[in-house]
Amino acid sequence: MVLEDAPLMSEKVTPFARSPFSPVHLGAPDCARVARLVEDELQKVLREYEIAGAPPTPRTFPKSRYKVVKSHDNCTAYLDRNSRNHKGSKKKTTSSNGSSGSPTVFDPYYTLADSSMISGSHSYSENDPDECTSNWAMPDIVVSGTVPGTLDDVMYGMMTPDSAEMLLRTAYVDDNLLDGGVLQQLQLPTKTDPFRSVCVKWYVKGMPSSYKKLVSARDFVFVEATGMVTRQDGARLGYMLRHWLDLEGCGELKGLQRGRFSNCAIYTPLSNQTVDIFVRGTVDPGGKMAMSLAIPIAASALLSSSNAVFCSYNKKLVWLLGNKKRGDHTMPVERSNMFVCGMCAKKFGKLSSVGTCRICCVQMCSRCRLNRSLAYVDMQNHEHAGVEHFSGVFCKNCIAQANQTSAFDVAQDEILKGRYGSVTREKTNARLDDQGGRLEQMQLGYVSSCVLPRDFT
């Protein structure tokens, strides 16, 4: 038999370039305005979610109003023809304590406007979100569908609260991200709420391969917020909101066309281990781009939620492998019979290809083993952090164990091990400074820290 027990093949990917902007430090008034913007946009999309039909109510998309743009797996993107007609007549959406004339159905677990941030030199130009998007030519795009997995899996796979996580998600999902990073972290995940995050980002989006010769890359500056909300019936929902920002000091860059977008995804857990996805968004690509190109490109971007669970499963498999390497460096006990597959008990022949699971060390035949291409962020050198790609052999049992591991527990464990700074500093992060009366904030830089061991691969 031929043993295939070589070391993991590893390749390092060049990290994102350094931020082209000066360090962003939004002052307390600007942070409060950004917080109100997030809450207003979230409340607006949650009302749209209820109108469209919250599970288990089935959603319908009449052909007279909605046009199918693109589908991916069990998710479909529709063009809402009516949204273009109503954009100019929309009324401003109020927050939960406003008087919009309709009852507020949702309240976030936390109120962003209650937090004040450190002072700084940047400022945010606040505008009515509806007034800002009313003159955009593109109608709204709505995505509806389901993905297998849990709500925690979707949230763990979607959230990227620092530049390192942006790199990692790009490694697993072909999202055409060319460059970017987190400019300022307003709220970081905590051990009690590991999917909560609010940050200001910048990134450069390339075009899908079929459009690269027709359309150039765009860059965007925006706020991204993720977290959980609770319906009146007690059901948990996840959300991911992105809305463009106009920040002084983060103006247009030479050679890049600045675009703007606004979108929000609502994730609802279903009883059959699947998650319902509802996304609504619009985009102003900037420059000269034909609507026939802009619409399918925007639809592809909004369909990225369907890849969240795939990303989560791979991250959990890496976490399981990392825990095994930290906790057990001993060799496996020699089996009484090393000439049969540990999974199916098939005898190995002289020319059989035998692989060893990198987690449990069971030896397997070619039919029982699974090869996985994985990635993790190597943060040992903070100046030149990058994504390490590697491939390894795993058994079906370990992959199933990783898939079934709670994404909430994994995210919480990463936080406790210092993924976003030490737990002690996390407590300091939420403490009001006695003298300045300001919320102290951890500054983790353009790419934050990670705790993977040096001998990971």
Q: Got the DSSP string for 56-83? A: TSPP---TTTEEEEEEETTEEEEEEHHH
CA atoms within 13 A on the CB side of 236: 14
8 A C-beta contact, residue 200 and residue 184: yes
Mean pLDDT of 160-177: 86
| pLDDT one-digit tens code per residue, 383-402 | 555 678 899 999 999 999 99
Q: How far apart are CA 457 and CA 454, in angstroms?
A: 8
| pLDDT one-digit tens code per residue, 98-136 | 334 333 344 443 333 333 332 334 555 555 545 455 556
Q: Does CATH number 1.10.3470 belong to domain 315-417?
A: no
> CA-CA distances (angstroms) from residue 409 to 152, 156, 194, 320, 414?
9, 10, 9, 12, 9
| pLDDT one-digit tens code per residue, 341-378 | 999 988 887 767 888 999 999 999 988 999 999 988 77
- Domain boundaries along the sequence of the chain: 28-81+136-308, 315-417
CATH dotted code for 28-81+136-308: 3.30.530.20
Q: How far apart are CA 281 and CA 437, in angstroms?
A: 37
What's the one-letter identity of residue 186?
L
8 A C-beta contact, residue 270 and residue 55: yes
| pLDDT one-digit tens code per residue, 192-241 | 999 999 999 999 998 877 777 778 889 999 999 999 999 888 889 999 99
| pLDDT one-digit tens code per residue, 61-88 | 999 999 999 999 999 999 999 886 555 4
- C-alpha dihedral, 433 to 438 to 442 to 444, nearest 10°: -140
State residue 118's pLDDT score.
Answer: 28
